[in-house]
Amino acid sequence: MARITSRQPRKQRKARYNAPNHARGRFLSASLSPELRGKYDIRRTRVVKGDTVMVLRGDYADDEGVVDSVDTKACKLIVHGVMVIKA
């Protein structure tokens, strides 16, 4: 898949919507902790099942949990202990 070079927001959204599953994994990346940055010399990496992550936004901000599953089709992570309860 060629990288999108357009700056138009509609084309950026279209590219993300139409991206193949193997490329959607790039959208599901997370920043590493300072200790891991020093160890591996990278800032971000793809999130996989079993990783420990910290939620940074929303009602569960600052909560840590283990990734139960990664859904590349829906671009979602399922984190153990973080559940949205609907009415």
* pLDDT at site 84: 80
* pLDDT at site 3: 72
Q: Which CATH architecture fits 9-79?
A: Roll (2.30)
Q: Please write the tens of the pLDDT for every residue from 19-64.
A: 998 899 889 999 999 999 999 999 999 999 999 999 999 889 999 9
- Burial grade of 79 (CB within 10 A; 0-12, 13-18, 19 or more): buried
Rounded to two decimals, the pTM is: 0.77
SS3 of 31-87: ECCHHHHHHHCCCEEECCCCCEEECCCCCCCCCEEEEEEEECCCCEEEECCCCCCCC
In the structure, what pLDDT confidence band is assigned to residue 80 with cuts at 50, 70 and 90? very high
